[in-house]
Structure 1
Amino acid sequence: MKKIFLLLLCFYLTNSFSQDSITIGSKHHVFSKALNEERNFWIYLPPDYDNKKFAPAKYPVVYLLDAENNFHSYTGIQHSLAKGPYAMIPQMIVVGITNTNRTLDLTPTESNRDAFYDKNKKIFKQSGGNKNFISFLETELRPYIDSHYRTSGYNILNGHSFGGLTAVNILLHHTKLFNAYTIIDPSLWWDNEIMIKKADSIFKNKDFDNRSIYLAMANKIKIPQDTTTDMARGIRKFEKLLGSKTPRNLRWAFKYYENEDHGTIPIPAEYDGLRFIFKDHLVQVKEAVENPSLVAQQYHKLSKTTGYVFLPSESYLDWMGNFCLEREKPESALAFFEMAKMYYSNSSNVFLRLGQCSEKKENKIQAQLFYEKALQLAPDNKKATTLLKNLNK
Structure 2
Amino acid sequence: MKKRLRIAVLLLTGIVFFGTNQAQEEIIIGKKYTMRSAVLGEDRAYWVALPADYSNSKYLPQQYPVVYLLDGDANFNSFTSLQQSLAKGPYAMIPQMIVVGVLNTDRTRDMTPTPAGRTAFYDKQQTMFRNSGGNASFIRFLEKELRPRIDSQFRTNGFNTLVGHSFGGLTAVNILLNHTPLFNSYIIIDPSLWWDNEVILRQADSLLPKKDFARRNIYVAHAWKEIVPQDTTTDHQRAIRYFGDLLERTQPKGLRWHWQYYPNEDHGTITIPAAYDALKFIYKGQQVHVKQAVDDPDLVVRHYANLSKQLGITVQPSEPYLDWMGNYCLTVNRPEPAIRFYQQSVAIYPRSKNTCLQLAKAWRQKGDTTLAAQWERRAEKL
TM range (shorter): over 0.9
Match of 1:59 in 2: 64
Q: Which moved more, 1:170-179 or 1:352-361?
A: 352-361
- Which residue of structure 1 lines up, in the alignment, with residue 342 of structure 2? 337
Once residues 245 and 10 of structure 1 are traced to their aligned partners in structure 2, the CA distance between those partners, rounded to angstroms, is 67
Equivalent residue for 1:240? 245
- Spell out, residue by residue over 1:258-290, the C-alpha distance to the aligned partner (whole angstroms, 9 max, x if none): 110000000000000101101111100011111
Residue segments in structure 2 that go unaligned for 5+ positions in a row: 1-5
The one-letter code sitting in structure 2 at the alignment partner of 1:139 is K
The answer (yes or no) to whether the contact 2:185–2:217 under 8 Å persists in 1 is yes
> What is the aligned counterpart of 2:73 among 68, 72, 91?
68
Q: Which residue of 2 aligns with 1:327?
A: 332
Match of 1:387 in 2: none
1:121 counterpart residue number: 126
CA distance in 2, matches of 1:261, 1:9: 48
What residue identity is the alignment partner of 2:374?
Answer: L
Partner of 1:136: 141
Identify the range of structure 1 (253-262 vs 221-230) with the bigger mean alpha-carbon deviation.
Answer: 221-230
Q: Is the 8 A contact 1:115 1:227 kept in 2?
A: no
Count of matched residue positions in the alignment of Structure 1 and Structure 2: 374
* Contact 2:227/2:267 (8 A) holds in 1: no
Which residue number corresponds to residue 3 of structure 2? none
**CA–CA separation in structure 2 for the residues paired with 1:203 and 1:81:** 31
2:39 counterpart of 1:34: yes
Relative to structure 1, is the Cα distance of residues 13 and 233 closer, same or farther in structure 2, using a 3 angstrom cutoff? same
Per-residue CA deviations over 1:308-336 (Å, capped at 9, x if unaligned) read 21111100000000000111110000000
Kept in 2, the 8 Å contact 1:107–1:130? The answer is yes
Letter in 1 for 2:49: Y
1:385 — aligned with what?
none
Pairing 1:164-243 to 2, within 5 Å after superposition: 164-221=169-226, 223-227=228-232, 230-243=235-248
Aligned partner of 2:294 among 286, 289, 293: 289
Give the letter for the 2:247 counterpart.
Answer: L
Shift of 1:6: 8.5
Segment drifting more, 225-234 vs 85-94: 225-234
CA distances 1:1-33 after superposition (whole Å, capped 9, x unpaired): x99x99996798258732211000000010001
CA distance in 1, matches of 2:270, 2:310: 26
State the shift of 1:120 in Å. Answer: 7.2
Moved more, 244-253 or 354-363: 354-363
RMSD: 2.2
Looking at structure 2, the residues matched to 370 and 137 of structure 1 have their Cα atoms a distance apart, in angstroms, of 46
Q: Which residue of 2 aligns with 1:43?
A: 48
TM-score (normalised: structure 2):
0.93
1:128–1:7: structure 2 CA closer, same or farther, 3 Å change rule?
closer
Which residue matches 2:259?
A: 254
Moved more, 274-283 or 361-370: 361-370
**What's the CA shift for 1:225?**
3.0
Cα deviation for residue 227 of structure 1 reads 3.5
Structure 1 runs of 4+ aligned residues shifted over 6 Å read: 5-8
Q: Which amino acid aligns with 2:191?
A: P
More deviation in 312-321 or 213-222?
213-222
- In structure 1, what residue type is equivalent to 2:197? N
Aligned to 1:161: 166
1:307 paired to 2:316: no
Segment drifting more, 265-274 vs 362-371: 362-371
1:370 match: 375
- Tell me the distance in 2 between the aligned counterparts of 1:123 and 1:12: 51
Do the aligned partners of residues 335 and 17 (structure 1) sit closer, same or farther apart at CA in structure 2, a change above 3 Å counting?
A: same
Change (3 A) 1:119 1:26: closer
Give ranges in structure 1 of 5+ residues lacking alignment: 378-393
Question: Can you list the C-alpha shifts for 1:113-150, whole angstroms capped at 9, x where unaligned?
Answer: 24667667354110110000000000000000001110
What letter is aligned with 1:274? L
* TM-score, scaled relative to structure 1: 0.91
**Cα deviation 1:155-206 (Å, max 9, x = unaligned):** 0000000000000000001101000000000000001000111011111221
Q: Percent identity?
A: 53
